[in-house]
Amino acid sequence: MQKVREILKTTDAMDLSGIVQESGLGVRAVRYALKRLKDQDLIVERFNWKDARKTLYQKAKV
């Protein structure tokens, strides 16, 4: 979870595949981390206007 959070701190927004590639973690591990971070209101999901099939994730504005 920490690795995913650090990646999202340094980028504007990323989709799931980008986070998986950047972190070196598995898809399931990244999905689980994103769910936990979202439940804690540390990240937000955004609609991806370039590809509606993918969701973008970014650090929540505090």
Q: Determine contact, residues 8/58, Cβ cutoff 8 Å.
A: yes
Q: Determine contact, residues 38/27, Cβ cutoff 8 Å.
A: no
Do you know the residue count of the chain? 62
pLDDT at 9: 93
- The pLDDT of residue 57 is above 90: yes
Write the pLDDT tens digit of every residue in 14-34: 999 999 999 999 999 999 999
pLDDT at 61: 85
Angle 2-10/27-39 helices, nearest 10 degrees? 80
Q: What is the pTM of this model?
A: 0.90
pLDDT at 6: 95
- Determine the Cα–Cα distance for residues 54 and 16; give it in Å rounded to an integer: 8
- Determine the Cα–Cα distance for residues 35 and 19; give it in Å rounded to an integer: 13
Coil, strand or helix: which one is 46? strand
